[in-house]
Each structure stands twice: as C-alpha cells, then as structure tokens.
Structure 1
Amino acid sequence: MKNHSSTLLAEVRSFRQNHPDVRYVDLIALDIPGHFYGKRYPVEMLEKVAAGGPLKLPQNAVLLGVQGGLFKIGDYCFNDGDPDANRRLVPGTLMPVSWESQPLGQMLITSDGTEAPIEFEPREVLAKVLERLHHKGIHPVVAFELEFYLFDKKLDNGLPQFARDPLSEDADDQPNLHIERLSRFSEVLDDMAQTAKDQGIDITVITAELGPGQFEINFGHLDDGLRAADWAALFCRSTRGVALKHGYRASFMAKPYLQFPGSGMHVHVSLYDGAGNNLLAAHQQQPLRHAVAGCLELLPHCMPIFSPNHNAFRRLGGTVNAATRASWGFEDRDACVRIPESDPRNLRIEHRLASADANPYLVLAAILAGLEHGLEAQREPIAPLNDDRNSGTDFPLEMLEAVRAMQHQAVLRDKLGAEFVDVYCENKRQDHLAFQQEINTREYRWFL
C-alpha cells in the first residue's frame, strides 16, 4: 500500500509541476448507462488522497438512469440511506484537459481494488472477469474501434443538423467513404486525435464512414483489458469536448438517422497463455471454434449490454453490417462475430454487435465471459456465414424482452455476478419504461 501511495503521490506532484496553472482536477468514473460522474477536487487536496487519504462518493451514483434519476432497485437508492462507498485513484490516468475554457485536469477513480468494491460498478465487473481469466492462465489482448457522427453545434427544434463542410460551408449530407472527408474535417479530427494522445490513448487509424459526417477511430491493442476500456470511455469524453470547441457536436448515439448506418463499437480480442502463445490458434484453431460457440450462446442474453437503450435497438438490421441474428464468419462484416484474416500469432475475434454508446467495460466483460464459457464447454459453433448465409440464432430486438433473457441466464449470472445482473436489468427496465412516458407527435397523428 505504501508503494502504491508513493507512486500516486509522485504522479500528482509531477502533474502539478508540469501544469502549474491547473487548480482543479475532475475525479471521474463511468456509471451503468455509460456516463461519467464524479467530483471536482482542488489539486492540493488530490495530493492528500494520493497519499492515502479517504476518497468517498455515494455508492448509488453508479445506479443513475440515463437522465440522471434514481430508480428503486431492490433496497438500493431509497431503503439503504444512500451510503458512501470508497473509491481509489487509477494510477496513470491523471491528465490535462485541453477542451475546457479554463485549465483543468482529470483522473479516473474506481471502487475495484478497494476493501469493499461495488459489485455493480462497470469497471469492477470487468476487473473480476479479467482476474478470473488471469488465474486460469488466460491473458486477453484487446483493441476497441468506435464510430461516431459529427453534427452542427446548433439543433433544429431539437433535431440534429448535418455537420457543415468547413471548405464549402454546405451541409455534409452525402453519405460516402471518401478520403476527402478526412481532409475537409481535418482540423477537428486532428485535434480529437491529438487530444486523445495527450490523454495517453493510442489512436491509430481514422476512417470516413458511410454515413454523412460519420467517422471511425481505432485504438491500439493492449494486454490490459481495463486500460483498453478506459481508453474507449475517455475518448468519448474528450471527443465530445473537442467537437464543441470547433463548433460541432460529436455523438456516439447508436442510430441518429433512420436512413443512414448506425454507429458501432467493435472489439478485437485475442487470448494468450503465460508464454505468449495464442490460445485460439492451438490444435488447428479448435479453441477458436469453441470460443465462438460460447460467444454466440451468451449473445442473446447480453443484448441489454450490447444495445443499452431504445435507440440502440434501431441500429440492428436493415442497414450495413448490423446483424439481427447471432452469427459468425471469416472476413465477413455481416456477422456479429467476425474472424479477421491474420497469421496464427494474431488470430482473434472481432465482436461487432455493440452500439457505440454501450458501456465499454460491460461490453468487454460480456465478450470475455462468452469466450471463457466457450473454452470451458468445448461445443462446436453453428455454421459460419461463409458456408450458410442463413446461419444464425435469434436474439431479442426490444429492451423488455432482452432484460428477461438476461436476468435469469445462469452462466451469465455466474460469470458477471448475480448482483450485477439483477441491478443492471432493473436499471435498464426502469430506463425503458421512463423513456416511454412521453406522448410524441406521431401518436397524436395516428390516434387523435
């Protein structure tokens, strides 16, 4: 503990020396819907926390709904006295914030690694899955890819407007994959990439996607699953901030336009043993087949994680590369689980189903749980799409059905934790019901 505190203290003091104009640091963590919550600390108080001082926030901050409200979930929120829970600083995450008007810092905090972790905290759920895999001699290497849209900063009666081309000042309303779009929006994209790098995130490939104003950012591969998910979460925060600074809105909303492709979160995962051998490539790739089978078996029960809101279900089906059935295939982007072409050393799966606004900690935890289950059960998967274009198993396509499928799945409750599954499902159910408590203009048009 002393060594840990001394490392954190050195990090804080180095930050203060390098950024003497920063007076406050945002201490942030991701809640269940994937929003950051936390507190803004004077930087001198942060030194006290780094030295071993207490850091407490309400336990139920993790349970907030999409709109920030609290739901009654078991005894949480209204019958528990709203207790505080210990958090700790995540080493290596103290970075400057460049998109705010005043100098600021930010640092991740978490309950995992404390004496009493919050069982339903997303980062803690992933931490437990990774710890179990490490004890089994399984070491994941992970890389995220995130798609997002740029919109004009101003909304039109609450609706998004196409981003304005900086050169022509016209709306970028033409869907395309042209490289020229990267040039036209280079100023904001370059700032997003550089800001992410300043946060310690390894940005690699930038792609202009099919939708108007849609882009994709790839991250480097990491042998630390928690850090990989940290990168995805922090990138969303910084990208929104940078976009506003340039007069745009950046959104990871799953399906902002019905007529254009949605935005996804693609996750590449390979598994290695302690000696660095690719476990999926052994025995003529038989473990790969088992891992795929496990992923596909649990996938229908993980839909509230992969599609965490009403809008995310709109993304599935009827558009480019968004499946409506659990499927897999080699070099096939129509599959939920794609096997990219690679040498045996880099053999991996690419899980393509999650929406871009899903919680990256929970998405990775669910994928790893599926891989682990598959390696244990050693079942053969269904036929790949390469052999049968109709291959696939159904999964829920609306939230309440998805919650029912998730809540009582025994393997998932074991792998992710029964308490987490119960809390998460009730949070999603309540959010969905709250979303429906508004009459929109279409209802009057149809039924008045």
Structure 2
Amino acid sequence: MKSHSSTLLAEVRSFRQNHPDVRYVDLIALDIPGHFYGKRYPVEMLEKVAAGGPLKLPQNAVLLGAQGGLFKIGDYCFNDGDPDANRRLVPGTLKPVSWESQPMGQMLITSDGTEAPIEFEPREVLAKALERLQHKGIHPVVAFELEFYLFDKKLDNGLPQFARDPLSDDADDQPNLHIERLSRFSEVLDDMAQTAKAQGIDITVITAEIGPGQFEINFGHCDDGLRAADWAALFCRSTRGVALKHGYRASFMAKPYLQFPGSGMHVHVSLYDAAGNNLLAAHQQQALRHAVAGCLELLPHCMPIFSPNHNAFRRLGGAVNAATRASWGFEDRDACVRIPESDPRNLRIEHRLASADANPYLVLAAILVGLEHGLEAKREPIAPLNEDRSSGTDFPVEMLDAVRAMQQQPLLRDKLGAEFVDVYCENKRQDHLAFQQEIHAREYRWFL
C-alpha cells in the first residue's frame, strides 16, 4: 500500500504532467464566515509539501470576520503572538482552475488529521462529528443543493443590477420558474456545471428558481460527508469565478432582494449502518421521527450557523418556502425539516433552513449533531405541518439572541466543542456589532 505522502506526490506529479502550463497552485481552506483563505504556491514547491514538507499558515486566519478583519476573541488574535498552525493537503482535490486569466490550479488544505488540529476550524468540526458517528456504526450519505442569483457584473452605486438576458439584452427582472431561462442563460450555466465537474464535483440537476436571475444546482448523494461539504464550498468559488468571466456576478447572498425569494442551502441526509441498511427506516420509521425530534430540539440553538449574518435573518419568513418556526412535514417545503417521498432504502431528511451563504461544513455538522441526539434521546417530534399548519417552535430571529442561545446550549458545547462554540459565537457577535457601526441614509431621513 502506498503511503499517504507518496499518494499525494503521485497526485501532484500527475497534475503537472497533465497541465504543464500551470505554474502556481492556490492552497485554500474555508474560514469561519465561509470565505477561502490560503497561499499561492509555485507548483514545484507543492511537490515538496506533498512529499512530507511542512505546510504552515497562521492559526488566526480561521478567525477572520466577514470583511477579513481580526477580532479579539479571548486570547486569540492579539494576545497569542499570531502563531502558525500545521495544515495538510486534502488528497484528490488538486484540480485545474479555468476562470483565472492564466492557467492555475487549486487544492484544499485543512488542519484536521494533523497532530494538533485547530479546534474551531470548520472542516475539523465536521470531521469530529463524522468520526463520532463512525464509531457508533452510523454512516451518513449527504447531498447539498445551493441556490444563487446572477447579477450584472457592474453595480449601480453599490447596488446589484438584474442580469441581462443574453438573447434579448433585456434585464431578467421577472420572477418565474420558466425552463426557457435555462436556455437563455445556458452558456454561463453550462460553463458553471462543466467547471464544477472539472473540480471533481458531482453536479446533477439545474433549476431556474422563482427569483429573477435565480438558479439552483444540485449535487449527487455522497457517502463521504467531508467530500460533500468540500463540493459545496468549492462550487461557490468556481461559480463566482465563471460568472465574472461571462460578465455576471454570481452571489450566494441569502436575501439580495426584499421582494423576491432568498437563496437557501438545502441538505439531504440519510443514515446507514455497516450493512447498508437505512437506519431512518427502522421500526416503521420510528427512528426517522426520533431523528426529526432531535433536529428540531437543537435547531433554535444553531441559528448562528444556519443564518450566519444580518442579511441571512432577512430570508426567514419570506413569502416562498422560508420557515419562521422550527417545523417538519412530509413533502412540505414550508417546513424546516422536510421528508421527501421515497422508498425505505432512500428515506432521508431534507434540512431547508440554512442560507446559501452559510458555512457548509458547519451546517452539516449541526444537522448531524441533531440527528445523533434524536436517535439517542428517542423522543417524539411535534406534529408535522401536514397534520397541524400551526405546528412549530420558535427560534431566534436576531443575531445577538441567536448567539446567546447557541453559546449556552450544553449539548452543542459537548458535541461541536466548547472552544469552537465560544470562538464562533464571539466571531458572529463581533461581526454583527461591526456591521452596525455605519449610519445609512435612511437613518438621516427618519431621525435627522
């Protein structure tokens, strides 16, 4: 059997042979707000890393705020000397980049699997959740769905403009689900799909959504939760790059228009045992009900993960399929947790609450903790929306309330890690307060 380093080295050498014009490779990882950070390496230096050479980046890069600044969080950032932390290359993620002006490559890096993982790194948080389930004989299969908007590349005084229909050059300003929109924007959508596939992402269905210039792309079901979240993260990066190349902006912003639907991150999860039996289907789907109850119980305490910024809370309670309370239902898109119709083998939950700009590693980790808790607590859920349209429990709809609810939840502190919970909540609190430190024109109109 090849060693880990020899496998990585073979991957790098194969990449260089297949892409001799590539001189640089971006080594990237996702920070807490869901942005990529990293370093650009000459490809020949990448071979040294793959062979076992050191790969270090500042630990505090994970803690960056939404605008890239550092906040004082405990002793991090300003009282710790800004130490480096080891990272490793993620095998199988070295792929060509086609949206830059010159041929390049990119590869994921992470601290999980190193001698001293960063406790608050999003990928490490998910890795620990998956490892705990693995030890219990539970094997998730996961599929993400991501909604996004296309805008014109140029902003109008900082505000987004509707994407131009490439056939008529008119603004795509009418909300509809017409499949003809897929044809009119086929050039950029096809490039997005093909670029994602070149990144190793299993792209499946493409849908024209209700909002003007809004689309959804689904990924295949994956039996590796880390890889499924990797796909979601990498898709956002490549899609933004491809859109700019075609004269558009692609945005996963949760609620870019008040009058049109927001963009969500829908996550399908089924759970299997080592023999391939669907655990959710056991005992006439009693396990499914327990899993749903666990998700709903923890959902109000996970809101800073599902709605990670001020704008994301605007999406809640919208006119189209955006829940205002923790709820569930069979084939019901108004529910936070939807149970799609399926045979017992493919029985799954669809978690619909997260915004499209949420961190996919953390969203999946929070969902898995809810499912795990439900299977162990074995409680019955509240009535589904199919039986009672008013069924549901309240959750925080403002960031500071949400942060308090998350930070004080003992089970989350245990399962996601107390250090992560404290760091994440303080990051969100500081981001929210920083967002408030600007007076907008409306305040002068109202109060001057």
Aligning the two structures, in what range does the TM-score lie when normalised by the shorter sequence?
over 0.9
Secondary structure class of the residue paired with 2:171 = coil
* Distance of 2:94 and 2:7 partners within structure 1: 12
* Distance of 2:414 and 2:322 partners within structure 1: 29
* Distance of 2:328 and 2:76 partners within structure 1: 39
* Distance of 1:169 and 1:280 partners within structure 2: 49
* Distance of 1:441 and 1:266 partners within structure 2: 35
Kindly indicate whether the alpha-carbon contact (under 8 Å) linking 2:382 and 2:391 is maintained by their aligned counterparts in 1: yes
Q: What do residues 288-322 of structure 1 show as CA deviations (whole Å, max 9, x unaligned)? A: 00000000000000000000000000000032000
Structure 1 counterpart of 2:155 = 155
Percent identical pairs in the alignment equals 95
* Distance of 2:279 and 2:225 partners within structure 1: 17
Deviation at 1:417, TM superposition (A): 0.4
Deviation at 1:2, TM superposition (A): 6.9
Secondary structure class of the residue paired with 1:334 = coil
Structure 2 counterpart of 1:335 = 335
Structure 1 counterpart of 2:294 = 294
Secondary structure class of the residue paired with 2:109 = strand
Matched, 1:4 2:7: no
Q: What do residues 123-168 of structure 1 show as CA deviations (whole Å, max 9, x unaligned)? A: 0000000000000000000000000000000000000000000000
Structure 1 counterpart of 2:242 = 242
Secondary structure class of the residue paired with 2:128 = helix
Structure 1 counterpart of 2:412 = 412
Secondary structure class of the residue paired with 1:381 = coil
Q: What do residues 71-125 of structure 1 show as CA deviations (whole Å, max 9, x unaligned)? A: 0000000000000000000000000000000010000000000000000000000
* Distance of 1:58 and 1:431 partners within structure 2: 20
Structure 2 counterpart of 1:133 = 133
* Distance of 1:274 and 1:418 partners within structure 2: 30
* Distance of 1:241 and 1:374 partners within structure 2: 40
Kindly indicate whether the alpha-carbon contact (under 8 Å) linking 2:261 and 2:318 is maintained by their aligned counterparts in 1: no
* Distance of 2:279 and 2:313 partners within structure 1: 33
Q: What do residues 171-217 of structure 1 show as CA deviations (whole Å, max 9, x unaligned)? A: 00000000000000000000000000000000000000000000000
* Distance of 1:66 and 1:318 partners within structure 2: 24
Secondary structure class of the residue paired with 1:254 = coil
Q: What do residues 349-392 of structure 1 show as CA deviations (whole Å, max 9, x unaligned)? A: 00000000000000000000000000010000000000000000
* Distance of 2:44 and 2:197 partners within structure 1: 26
* Distance of 1:319 and 1:97 partners within structure 2: 38
* Distance of 2:163 and 2:262 partners within structure 1: 16
Q: What do residues 232-286 of structure 1 show as CA deviations (whole Å, max 9, x unaligned)? A: 0000000000000000000000000000000000000000000000000010000
Secondary structure class of the residue paired with 2:350 = strand
Q: What do residues 31-90 of structure 1 show as CA deviations (whole Å, max 9, x unaligned)? A: 000000000000000000000000000000000000000000000000000000000000
* Distance of 1:157 and 1:73 partners within structure 2: 34
Secondary structure class of the residue paired with 1:325 = coil
* Distance of 1:240 and 1:99 partners within structure 2: 9
* Distance of 1:229 and 1:423 partners within structure 2: 21
Deviation at 1:331, TM superposition (A): 0.1
* Distance of 2:253 and 2:318 partners within structure 1: 17
Structure 1 counterpart of 2:438 = 438
* Distance of 1:318 and 1:421 partners within structure 2: 28
- Work out the number of aligned pairs and report it: 448
TM-score by length of 2: 1.00
Matches within 5 A, 1:244-323: 244-323=244-323
* Distance of 1:214 and 1:318 partners within structure 2: 15
Secondary structure class of the residue paired with 1:305 = helix
Q: What do residues 379-428 of structure 1 show as CA deviations (whole Å, max 9, x unaligned)? A: 00000000000000000000000000000101111110000000000000
Secondary structure class of the residue paired with 1:218 = strand
Root-mean-square deviation over aligned CA pairs? 0.7
Secondary structure class of the residue paired with 1:404 = helix
* Distance of 1:414 and 1:344 partners within structure 2: 32
Secondary structure class of the residue paired with 1:277 = coil
* Distance of 1:188 and 1:355 partners within structure 2: 23
* Distance of 1:137 and 1:189 partners within structure 2: 39
* Distance of 1:92 and 1:352 partners within structure 2: 29
Q: What do residues 326-353 of structure 1 show as CA deviations (whole Å, max 9, x unaligned)? A: 0000000000000000000000000000
Secondary structure class of the residue paired with 2:176 = coil
Secondary structure class of the residue paired with 1:113 = coil
* Distance of 2:7 and 2:65 partners within structure 1: 35
Secondary structure class of the residue paired with 2:3 = helix
* Distance of 1:25 and 1:319 partners within structure 2: 43
TM-score by length of 1: 1.00
Q: Please, which runs of 5 or more residues in structure 1 have no aligned partner?
A: none
Kindly indicate whether the alpha-carbon contact (under 8 Å) linking 2:99 and 2:241 is maintained by their aligned counterparts in 1: yes
Kindly indicate whether the alpha-carbon contact (under 8 Å) linking 2:27 and 2:39 is maintained by their aligned counterparts in 1: yes
* Distance of 1:68 and 1:167 partners within structure 2: 38
Kindly indicate whether the alpha-carbon contact (under 8 Å) linking 2:149 and 2:213 is maintained by their aligned counterparts in 1: yes
Kindly indicate whether the alpha-carbon contact (under 8 Å) linking 2:111 and 2:117 is maintained by their aligned counterparts in 1: yes
* Distance of 2:284 and 2:292 partners within structure 1: 14
* Distance of 1:68 and 1:172 partners within structure 2: 32
Kindly indicate whether the alpha-carbon contact (under 8 Å) linking 2:129 and 2:368 is maintained by their aligned counterparts in 1: yes
* Distance of 2:197 and 2:239 partners within structure 1: 12
Secondary structure class of the residue paired with 2:168 = coil
* Distance of 2:370 and 2:419 partners within structure 1: 19
* Distance of 1:98 and 1:145 partners within structure 2: 23
Kindly indicate whether the alpha-carbon contact (under 8 Å) linking 2:262 and 2:318 is maintained by their aligned counterparts in 1: no
Structure 1 counterpart of 2:89 = 89
Structure 2 counterpart of 1:357 = 357
